[in-house]
Structure 1
């Protein structure tokens, strides 16, 4: 920063601002996923299938 408090044209002057942007972005994605309701829970298939036996 110069004596007038300017940061030389840099948008993100330090790591703290970047961390806040990442944290906010992650929270936004999680919030949007929560509003959407997500997908239905996956259930195991309860259908029997024929498995060939090994002929030794």
Structure 2
């Protein structure tokens, strides 16, 4: 499901794969708000060299 399609949905589990920066803070925020429990969130962020990373840029 895309981030935009996740609006108005309630999800038990969410996985986000961020191979590049999210276009805007709002897109990631909308997806994360759909989760009923923090234990259901998994996020994989990769940098430009496809190496897992701990952070991503917040582009607004």
Q: Tell me the TM-score normalised to structure 1 length.
A: 0.24
Which of the two has higher C-alpha Rg? 1
Q: Would you tell me which structure has more helix in proportion to its own residues?
A: 1
Normalised to the residue count of structure 2, the TM-score between the two structures is: 0.23
Q: Which has the higher strand share?
A: 2
